[in-house]
């Protein structure tokens, strides 16, 4: 499924009622089965943008639409949140089944589909554990399995690995890429980490500081599957260097103000 963002703007009101412009006329498209990352400094409106794509938040201007055949029995989008937004009173399996319950999938079918994504996400053997019994990495696997279980056309990921230590993050990045190879979803993945943005993506959309505007789109011409050693390739170094320069200029301006 293709995602089209057309001049998306968002202005919040702060607690005094003053306008806070979070996004300014963001236009972009994400092709079917494409893995696009959105990178930008903290507070530039990345989460806002994903929530608008998910339909959780209405834009103040512009619009988002989807192109391509949509299955009637499954949602267009599903979100993996930055903080492990799991239900603490549900086991891993029951968390994964949550979206399926919402869709009214019968219990036996729910269990079957949950099991499939539990295995895909590397959670086999942990079905009965509660979130507090799981490490950060395992919890985020549950978040991913829960989002995938409803078989959305578009997977939205909001800094899903930023709370993890560097080694776990690397592992999870590779596993997510492997899952994507197998499930071929359209993925929009938000991060403030430039290396991560380039490593994961077919294309990186670079946002300015708040209000977020599109500064550039960078095509990542690295082969797939991605492997760790690619971070030493000229393509990787050039892409991260270019994005870093764009964001550094912005950070300098922010320091001056
Ligand atoms: N509900 C809200 N009300 C008012 N301001 C908000 C709200 N949500 C976010 N903001 C502001 O909008 C800007 C963008 O926020 P956010 O989308 O969370 O950025 P990011 O995810 O890139 O860090 C920030 O300045 C933030 O403080
Ligand atoms: Mg955010």
Centre of ligand 1 to C-alpha 256, Å, is 21
Ligand 1 center to 81 CA (angstroms): 15
Q: How far is the CA of 251 from the centre of ligand 1 (A)?
A: 17
Q: Walk across the sheet containing 154-158 and list its strands.
A: 77-80, 154-158, 186-191, 35-39, 203-207, 214-219
Q: What does each of the 257 residues of the chain score in pLDDT, given as a tens digit?
A: 999 999 999 999 999 999 999 999 999 999 999 999 999 998 999 999 999 999 999 999 999 999 998 788 889 999 999 876 899 999 999 999 999 999 999 999 999 999 999 998 999 999 999 999 999 999 999 999 999 999 999 999 999 999 888 888 898 899 899 999 998 899 999 999 999 999 999 999 999 999 999 999 999 999 999 999 999 999 999 999 999 999 998 878 878 87
- Which one of 8, 12, 188 would you pick to mutate in the ligand 1 pocket, going by the greatest count of ligand atoms within 8 A of its CB? 12
Predicted pLDDT of residue 244: 96
Atom of ligand 1 nearest to the CA of 48: 17
Q: What is the 3-state secondary structure (H, E, C) of 8-58?
A: EEEEEECCCCCEEEEEEEEEEEECCCCEEEEECCCCCCHHHHHHHHCCCCC
140-164 as b/e, with b when 16 or more CB fall inside 10 Å? Answer: bbbbbbbbbbbbbbbbbbbbbbeeb
Fold (topology level) of 1-70+193-257: Rossmann fold (3.40.50)
Residue nearest ligand 1's atom 23 by CA: 43
Q: What are the structural domain ranges in the chain? A: 1-70+193-257
Q: Which residue's alpha carbon is nearest to atom 18 within ligand 1?
A: 47
Predicted local confidence at residue 257, as pLDDT = 76
Neighbours of ion ligand 2 (CB under 5 A): 46-47
| The ligand 1 atom nearest the CA atom of 15 | 4
pTM for the model stands at 0.95
Residues pairing with 63 in the sheet: 6
């Amino acid at each position: 499924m293709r995602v089209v963002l057309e001049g998306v703007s968002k202005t919040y009101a702060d607690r005094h009622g003053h306008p806070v412009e979070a996004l300014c006329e963001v236009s972009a498209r994400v092709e079917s089965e494409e893995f696009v990352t959105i990178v930008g400094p903290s507070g530039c409106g990345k989460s806002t943008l994903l929530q608008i794509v998910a339909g959780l938040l209405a834009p103040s201007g512009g619009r988002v639409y989807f192109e391509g055949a949509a299955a009637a029995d499954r949602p267009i989008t599903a979100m993996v949140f930055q903080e492990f937004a799991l239900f603490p009173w549900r086991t891993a399996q029951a968390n994964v089944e949550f979206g399926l319950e919402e869709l009214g999938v019968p219990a036996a079918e729910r269990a079957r589909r949950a099991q499939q994504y539990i295995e895909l996400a590397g959670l086999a053997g942990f079905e009965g554990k509660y979130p507090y019994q799981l490490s950060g990495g395992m919890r985020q696997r549950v978040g991913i399995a829960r989002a995938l279980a409803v078989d959305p056309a578009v997977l939205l990921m909001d800094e899903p690995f930023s709370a993890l230590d560097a080694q776990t993050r690397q592992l999870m990045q590779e596993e997510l890429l492997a899952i994507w190879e197998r499930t071929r979803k359209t993925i929009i993945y938000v991060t403030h980490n430039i290396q991560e943005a380039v490593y994961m993506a077919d294309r990186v959309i670079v946002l300015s500081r708040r209000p977020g505007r599109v500064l550039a789109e960078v095509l990542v011409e690295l082969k797939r599957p991605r492997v760790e050693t690619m971070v030493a390739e000229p393509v990787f170094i050039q892409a991260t260097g270019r994005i870093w320069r764009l964001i550094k200029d912005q950070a300098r301006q922010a320091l001056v103000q």
